[in-house]
Amino acid sequence: MQQLLNGVFLGSIYALFAIGFTLVFGILDRLNLAHPAVFAAAAFIGIELVTLGGVSIWLAIPLVAGIGALLGLVIERVAFRPLRGRPDAHFAGLISSIGLAGMIIALLLWRYGPDTRRFPADAFPATTFEVAGARVTLLQVAILAISILLMVGLTWLVARTRLGRAMRAVAENPRAATVLGIDVDRVTATTFALSSALGAVAGALFAMNVNSAQLGMGAAIELKGLAVIIVGGMGSLPGALVGGLLLGLAEVFAVQYIGSSWRDLVAFGMLFLLLVVRPQGLFGSRRVREV
Amino acid sequence: MSEDILTVEDLAVSYGRVQAVRGVSFTVPRGALVTLVGANGAGKTSIINAVSGVVRPSSGRVTFQGKDVTRTPAHKLVRQGLVQVPEGRQILASLTIEENLQLGGWHTSGGRTEEVYDRFPVLRERRRLLAGSLSGGEQQMLAIGRALVAEPSLMLLDEPSMGLAPKVVDEVFRVIQEIRAAGTSVLLVEQNARRALRAADHGYVLASGEVARSGPGAELLADDAIVAAYLGLETG
Ligand SMILES: Nc1ncnc2c1ncn2[C@@H]1O[C@H](COP(=O)(O)OP(=O)(O)OP(=O)(O)O)[C@@H](O)[C@H]1O
Ligand SMILES: [Mg+2]
């Protein structure tokens, strides 16, 4: 039971990260490889806010989300918008976002040094609960609640709101969206801001969950995020949710029952098997994406 | 305010080295139905797109409701009342019919949706279905309805009869006349020249990116030389 819960907590963070990732991918058909750098940056910035700023972790989360959104706007402006007219805009954006990710990590190294950073010991609430014989901290409950809330909120936004409709219109046909009076640049920038805000919150929650932030944490989650996107079905929000949870559970159980060095092998092996069984992903349509 | 809702002067559009439109001028008087006809590749879509701000003209001037809008981006022109029904309909197939209409009213309250449903009852019946499930004719109605929700004062239609059965073409032309009768100015681009010229107050015949002839629709149609030279292959 304890492992199950731990897996769910970890998985919900993966899901949150992957949902931000897949939002830009599914809507704009752009792979933003600066997303993992936002994840890492948010962890360090969150720790600094709490440590130096004296901010409570509860306030740090919305602050980090705001900073993430700003980073998203910068990423769109710097790494994607200048290239959008090119025939190879997808690939070019991918490469330029890798470059930007490298710059963000370099800035983190410059500001925070190469060492692991932690929250101060008294930053976390001491409250714990018993759930079916397992011990759960208030922080873990909060991580799960925040992740679920954000994912539900995002799904609602995309499915039901005016902005969500515009995002889907831009996803399907930017030219048609323009003709309808939609400011495609603005919707694109907003999508990046939302995506990065989610990635940033995921980074802060991840750092809280394991009480540490490392420069390599972005790179570590990057592949997982990509795997979750693919397994969930390219661009599918519920797919990213389920994929993230599965990955979190698989990792925790692999560590518990097989050994920690088997973690990635088991987790990725399972995702791989899923793809063999369902090549289009859990929630993907059979239709091939149009290029 | 001037009598012409749209004035296009010496418009040129090029794509790289291809000159698609070479110095075209025309006007749409307020409340009128004006048509541009011409064969494939004559530059019709390029003109529509340049006027509605989707592509940048390489030179020339577009004046809409007395304002120079040559460099105004498309989404702002929609807000000002210049709305395009694009070639090939361009409905959003993965969104529902209702969502397509709501997007037409992106900048308004979308209050005209009900009116559009009254005009096209089939859309109301299927409002919750994906727009991609509609037939070609129904998709054209959706595309026109979507533009109507935006409350245009000038509607640009790019080959609305393309690929439709003759009965449906009749329906499309009837709807265009209704829109015009309700006070919206219309710029209609067509390959179906006879139909378009018959419906229009004024017509321009385009060939290779230039205006070859212009005049009242009926007059152009009555001129056998024009029909033979430019419209000879058209049916309808
Ligand atoms: N994006 C583009 N890039 C390069 N050339 C283009 C582009 N769009 C149009 N052209 C060229 O410009 C010319 C005019 O094209 P346009 O689409 O305006 O014609 P049209 O009258 O609308 O034709 P149709 O009746 O087939 O729709 C054609 O020679 C076409 O090949
Ligand atoms: Mg055309």
Across the interface, of A169, A183, A184, the residue whose CB is closest to B103 is A169
- Ligand 1 atom with least separation from CA of B206: 21
pLDDT at A277: 84
pLDDT over 80 (residue A219) = yes
Across the interface, of A168, A173, A178, the residue whose CB is closest to B75 is A178
Which A-chain residues 105-164 have CB contacts (< 8 A) with chain B?
A: 162
Rounded Cα distance, B205 and B219, in Å:
12
Residues of A within 8 A of B95 (CB-CB) are 165, 168-169, 172
Across the interface, of A176, A181, A184, the residue whose CB is closest to B78 is A181
pLDDT over 50 (residue B144) = yes
pLDDT at A238: 84
Q: Domain B4-230's class? A: alpha beta
Q: Do B84 and A179 touch (CB under 8 A)?
A: yes
pLDDT tens by residue, A89-105: 888 999 999 999 999 99
Q: Which of B46, B52, B204 to mutate to test the pocket of ligand 1 (most atoms within 8 A of CB)?
A: B46
Average pLDDT of the residues in B111-127 = 91
Rounded Cα distance, A220 and B141, in Å:
51
Domains of chain A and any CATH numbers: 2-277 (1.10.3470)
Distance (angstroms) between ligand 2 centre and the Cα of B43 equals 7
Q: How confident is the model at residue A88 (pLDDT cuts 50, 70, 90)?
A: confident
pLDDT tens by residue, A196-209: 999 999 999 999 99
pLDDT over 80 (residue B181) = yes
Average pLDDT of the residues in B107-113 = 73
pLDDT at B110: 62
Rounded Cα distance, A46 and A211, in Å:
11
Q: Which of B11, B18, B40 to mutate to test the pocket of ligand 1 (most atoms within 8 A of CB)?
A: B18
- Nearest CA of chain A to the CA of B45: how many Å? 13
What's the DSSP call for residue A135?
E
pLDDT tens by residue, A229-247: 888 877 788 888 888 999 9
- Nearest CA of chain A to the CA of B193: how many Å? 25
Specify the residue with its C-alpha closest to ligand 1, atom 3: B15
Is the Cβ of A166 closer than 8 Å to some Cβ of chain B? yes
Query: Do residues A48 and A266 make contact, with C-beta atoms less than 8 angstroms apart?
Result: no
Choose the mutation target among A172, A179, A184 for the interface with B, i.e. most B CBs under 10 Å.
Answer: A179
pLDDT tens by residue, A152-162: 999 999 999 99
Residues of B within 8 A of A175 (CB-CB) are 54, 86, 90
Strands (E), chain B: 4-15, 18-29, 33-37, 59-64, 67-68, 82-85, 154-158, 185-190, 202-207, 210-216
pLDDT over 90 (residue A129) = no
- Alpha helix segments (H runs only) across A33-137: 35-51, 57-75, 89-112
Rounded Cα distance, A280 and A232, in Å:
9
pLDDT at A176: 93
pLDDT over 50 (residue B236) = no
Burial class (CB in 10 A: 0-12, 13-18, 19+), B30: middle
pLDDT at B234: 46
| B81, closest residue in chain A (CA to CA) | A181
The closest of A22, A44, A75, A1 to A226, measured between CA atoms, is A22
pLDDT at B235: 43
Rounded Cα distance, A155 and A160, in Å:
8
- Nearest CA of chain B to the CA of A178: how many Å? 6
Q: How confident is the model at residue B109 (pLDDT cuts 50, 70, 90)?
A: low
- Ligand 1 atom with least separation from CA of B191: 25
pLDDT over 70 (residue A286) = no
- Ligand 1 atom with least separation from CA of B49: 18
Rounded Cα distance, A69 and A61, in Å:
12
- Ligand 1 atom with least separation from CA of B39: 25
Query: Do residues B22 and B209 make contact, with C-beta atoms less than 8 angstroms apart?
Result: yes
Is the Cβ of A178 closer than 8 Å to some Cβ of chain B? yes
A to B CB pairs, distance under 8 Å = 62
Least confident of A47-61, A77-91, B192-206: A77-91
pLDDT at B232: 63
Mean pLDDT for chain A overall? 89
pLDDT over 80 (residue B106) = no
Distance (angstroms) between ligand 2 centre and the Cα of B88 equals 9
Average pLDDT of the residues in B99-118 = 84
Q: Residue B54 CA to chain centroid, in angstroms?
A: 13
Longest Cα–Cα distance of chain A, Å, equals 59
Q: Which of B11, B17, B21, B45 to mutate to test the pocket of ligand 1 (most atoms within 8 A of CB)?
A: B45
Q: Is the CB of B100 under 6 A from ligand 1?
A: no
Looking at per-residue pLDDT, the higher value among B105 and A23 belongs to: A23
pLDDT more than 90, % of chain A: 56
Please give the C-alpha separations between residue B69 and each of A181, A209, A266, B104, in angstroms, as whole numbers: 15, 55, 60, 21
Q: Is the CB of B131 under 6 A from ligand 1?
A: no
The one-letter code for the residue type at A209 is: N
pLDDT at B1: 52
Q: Would you list the DSSP string of A147-189?
A: HHHHHHHHHHHHHHSHHHHHHHHHHH-HHHHHHTT--HHHHHH
pLDDT at B91: 95
Looking at per-residue pLDDT, the higher value among A78 and B111 belongs to: A78
What's the DSSP call for residue A134?
E
Rounded Cα distance, A91 and A100, in Å:
14
Looking at per-residue pLDDT, the higher value among B65 and B225 belongs to: B65
Average pLDDT of the residues in A281-287 = 65
pLDDT over 60 (residue A291) = no
